[in-house]
């Protein structure tokens, strides 16, 4: 059963149409697919939705609808949520020291990647799914298979 770790940039595509949404829909509807998020995504997705309101992409009524859909999916068990641990933060610090200068790896992306790498080492995750180019580059360097839904397969 494939385990996909969804970065927030990919997760958002399930809730609001944008480049890569169709590919995300196909990916997550495949039989036996395991969808995994970090606890951080529960916060980040709120920021993504709020940004869509601030930038005029959606209105506040749509914001409430997107939040409702996301939390309904959580309640239904559509996603497995991995709690953050100190080891993830420590690993993220190492990732930023290693890749921050050359690949512009940011703090929250490093935390997401540290969770994905830990799950990959345990055989739980087969792919990181993200549309963040810098995160995808570093994940690949770290040996993680990457799917960018905004790029044609």
SS (H, E, C) 108-136: HHHHHHHHHHHHHHCCCCCEEECCCHHHH
Q: What is the biggest distance separating any 2 CA atoms in the chain, rounded to whole angstroms?
A: 42
98-146 pLDDT, tens per residue?
999 999 999 999 999 999 999 999 999 999 999 999 999 999 999 999 9
Residue ranges of domains in the chain? 3-146
Q: How far apart are CA 22 and CA 73, in angstroms?
A: 18
- 70 φ, ψ (degrees, to nearest 5): -65, -50
Tens-place pLDDT, residues 63-90: 999 999 999 999 999 999 999 999 999 9
Over range 8-15, report the average pLDDT. Answer: 97
What pLDDT score was predicted for residue 2? Answer: 73
> Own/partner pairs for 96-99, CB < 8 Å, 24+ apart?
99/138, 99/141
130 CB-side CA count, 13 A: 24
Q: What is the pTM of this model?
A: 0.95
Q: Which CATH number fits domain 3-146: 3.30.200.20, 3.40.50.1010, 3.40.50.10490, 3.40.50.10470?
A: 3.40.50.1010
């Amino acid at each position: 059963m494939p385990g996909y770790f969804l970065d927030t940039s990919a997760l958002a595509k399930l809730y609001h149409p944008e480049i890569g949404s169709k590919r995300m829909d196909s990916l997550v509807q495949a039989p036996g697919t395991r969808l995994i998020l970090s606890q951080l995504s529960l916060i980040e997705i709120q920021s993504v939705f709020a940004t869509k309101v601030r930038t005029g992409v959606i209105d506040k009524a749509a914001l409430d609808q997107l939040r409702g859909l996301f939390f309904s999916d959580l309640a239904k068990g559509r996603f497995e949520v991995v709690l953050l641990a100190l080891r993830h933060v420590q690993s993220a610090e190492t990732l930023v020291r290693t890749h921050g200068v050359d690949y512009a790896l940011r703090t929250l992306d490093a935390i997401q990647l540290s969770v994905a790498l830990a799950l990959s080492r345990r055989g739980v995750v087969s792919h990181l799914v993200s549309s963040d180019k810098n995160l995808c580059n570093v994940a690949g360097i770290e040996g993680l298979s990457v799917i960018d839904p905004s790029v044609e397969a």
